[in-house]
Structure 1
Amino acid sequence: MNHSSERPKIFGTGLIALDLVIGLDSEAPVHSWAGGTCGNVLTIMRYLGWDAYPIARMNGDPASERVRADLVRWGVSLDHTNCAPTGHTPIIIQQIKRARDGSPTHRFLWTCPHCGKRLPSYRPVTQHAVEEVARDLPGSSVFFMDRLSRAALSLAAEAAHAGAVVVFEPSGKSDEKQFAEAMKIAHVVKYSDQRLSEAGGAMTDASATLLEIQTLGSEGLRYRHRLAGQISDWSLCPSVPAPRVIDTCGAGDWCTAGILARAASRGLSGLREMDAQGLSEALRFGQVLAAWNCGFEGARGGMYSVETWEFQNQINAIMKGRPVLRTVARQERSAPSVACPACPPTLGAAASAST
């Protein structure tokens, strides 16, 4: 495994998909980017200067090859992206539209708009991957998971034992036994207000949670921690105003990445040593990244729209309360569309041409 010893490392497993983004301009080409919560967080972390290692089961189908090409473009490692047994890469279609009041809305399609068949969905890595991946976990700063499986939990436990911060973002309902096990392993748990809040939160005497983050949509987020040994009161972080709102998809992924970039670069020992002020600043940085991302189509659209130096300038401006969001266009490479695997060859070719 090739990586820079000077950069912190993040490993992650969960939803790594091909995003097909249909923007407001119906005449514009459909964007096809690596996506999914795990895929986005790890790619953003690489963009922020980390080494990133997604763990997936890509089988070489057109969707997986597009995802792999996009990951390579941003410097993400492919070392563990074809874990056996391999399978089709998930495909998610996102449509961006305007509501009657002009505000942006988006919806996700899980079936092919041409043949009506369900698009490939997520399949977790299996125990076959654990031994191979576990060898590379020592020295990592973070292990991220947003979907639970026996293999994901085994790897998370290995990473925690090696000194990494284990981050869990519940994506929905899961096996109760595995969920309870995740709570005993994860040091950072981030979730929307509709989920764990009804169960009283993630931080209990039996959990490993050091930082609990509850997102509140446009209201911002609230959090509590026990970095000093005792569970703190909840603290509210109002949302950071977005300089421009084109699409809110992916804002949570940018928020997660920003928090980890500032709070977890030295692994579990570094997180334990962080004080309340440092934690507050890390959360604020994550919210700034989320606000910036809302100005572009797609979960990571800004990465394709501005140069890196301009990204830094815009983030600094938002943090100073003087947001500026301008596009310094970068030459975008076009790529052929990906057809639904279930479409007959002739219909698939037509679908590719139309999208």
Structure 2
Amino acid sequence: MSQPREMIDVVGTGFTVLDRLYSDGQLASEALGGSCGNVLVSLAMLHRQVVPVLSLGFDEIGSRLVDEFRVAGANTQYICRHYGRRSPVLRQELDTSSGRHSFSFVCDETLEEYPRYEPIGRDEVRLAMDALERCTVFYADRLSPTILEAMECAHSSGAIIYFEPSIYDESLFSEALALTSILKYSSDRLGQMLDEPVAASTAIAIVTHGEDGLEVRHGHERVWSAAIPAKRVLDTCGSGDMVSVGLIDWLLTQSISAQTSLTLHDIMCGVSAGQRLAAENCAFAGARGVFRHHDIEYLRSLLSEVGSHF
């Protein structure tokens, strides 16, 4: 009699880059970034079983990104490297006086355009099929025909599909939405395009409203969750990613599966945990500053605080 295959906590794919952080015009750090990169590496640092499925170049930057995942504890066997391809880079400008940030794909010194993110191909999907069939949560923040294929595989195997688009792909969105368990998006950026189709879907939606807070929606039912005040605001970058990290970590802690008939009220404790993490992260420069300045015990205490604010 064959033994049941061991489950994986999270498999994810999407926007993963080398984030070059310039603080008040000066290069401050270089680290793995992008929403997908931030969420997956943070969950790995929380000792979750994390499997990134990515397509990178066989270059120095690609090696740095793989090493950062590996050091965090992620399984990097499904990160494919390609000769002749340059791994993606993103420039982040931080104004420490306001805590505001901006992004660019152009080098300010040379005016050269940085290499861009490229989604996984069919070879990567085939290689990762075993992991996709064993994950509890599948995370994606971009769409392509092959990412949709990976999403379909994970969904058919019973995974929670956590989809966090920052770009609207009209040709693929309706198919992705039909598979999605939890959808997170910005009201300012995508609200006009997504609010109506999402309300008609079965997905639970987390709609962010910047520094004010967020709404959790299910159909036409809505619950408002005000932002938790940050003790200090140095950099707001990564706040949304931290909400996702906290919620996914909570889903895993509660052993919630896609077969669970979730309501929006069921996930509010997880949302609140993510908002606490986001508020703490604002005190540090970089999208994952809280992870660089605090140990796992502190982060776990932050995520497991009893109580809510909604």
Q: 3-state DSSP class of the match of 2:205? A: strand
Q: Give 2:185's match in structure 1, choosing from 162, 183, 191.
A: 191
The aligned counterpart of 1:108 is: 103
Gaps of 5+ in 2: none
The aligned counterpart of 1:39 is: 37
Following TM superposition, by how much is the alpha carbon of 1:126 offset from its aligned partner in structure 2, in angstroms? 1.2
Residues 30 and 320 of structure 1: CA distance in aligned 2, closer, same or farther (over 3 Å): same
The aligned amino acid for 2:222 is: W
Following TM superposition, by how much is the alpha carbon of 1:315 offset from its aligned partner in structure 2, in angstroms? 5.2
The aligned counterpart of 1:120 is: 115
The aligned amino acid for 1:74 is: A
The aligned counterpart of 1:12 is: 12
User: Does the 8 Å CA contact 2:15/2:142 hold for their aligned counterparts?
Assistant: yes
d(CA) in 1 for partners of 2:165, 2:263: 26
User: Does the 8 Å CA contact 2:58/2:82 hold for their aligned counterparts?
Assistant: no
d(CA) in 2 for partners of 1:182, 1:148: 8
Q: 3-state DSSP class of the match of 2:80? A: coil
Q: Give 1:281's match in structure 2, choosing from 258, 262, 269.
A: 269
User: Does the 8 Å CA contact 1:189/1:202 hold for their aligned counterparts?
Assistant: no
Cα displacement string for residues 221-249 of structure 1 (whole angstroms, at most 9, x for unaligned residues) = 00122xxxxx3511100111112111000
The aligned amino acid for 1:125 is: I
The aligned amino acid for 2:178 is: K
Aligned counterparts, 1:142-153, within 5 A: 142-153=137-148
The aligned counterpart of 1:233 is: 221
The aligned counterpart of 1:182 is: 176
Q: 3-state DSSP class of the match of 1:58? A: strand
d(CA) in 1 for partners of 2:58, 2:159: 30
Q: Is it true that 1:22 corresponds to 2:22 in the alignment?
A: yes
The aligned counterpart of 1:249 is: 237
Gaps of 5+ in 1: 226-230, 322-355
Q: Give 2:280's match in structure 1, choosing from 274, 289, 292.
A: 292
Q: 3-state DSSP class of the match of 1:57? A: strand
How many residue pairs match? The answer is: 301
d(CA) in 1 for partners of 2:144, 2:302: 39
The aligned amino acid for 1:222 is: E
The aligned counterpart of 1:129 is: 124
Is the deviation greater in 277-286 or in 193-202?
Answer: 193-202
d(CA) in 2 for partners of 1:184, 1:86: 36
Q: With the length of structure 1 as denominator, give the TM-score of the two structures.
A: 0.78
User: Does the 8 Å CA contact 1:87/1:123 hold for their aligned counterparts?
Assistant: no
User: Does the 8 Å CA contact 2:214/2:225 hold for their aligned counterparts?
Assistant: yes
Q: Which has the higher strand share?
A: 2
Cα displacement string for residues 123-144 of structure 1 (whole angstroms, at most 9, x for unaligned residues) = 1111222222112222211111
Aligned counterparts, 1:161-180, within 5 A: 161-174=156-169, 176-180=170-174
Q: Give 1:269's match in structure 2, choosing from 245, 259, 264.
A: 259
Following TM superposition, by how much is the alpha carbon of 1:278 offset from its aligned partner in structure 2, in angstroms? 3.5
Residues 204 and 235 of structure 1: CA distance in aligned 2, closer, same or farther (over 3 Å): closer
d(CA) in 2 for partners of 1:310, 1:19: 25
Q: Is it true that 1:72 corresponds to 2:65 in the alignment?
A: no
Q: With the length of structure 2 as denominator, give the TM-score of the two structures.
A: 0.89
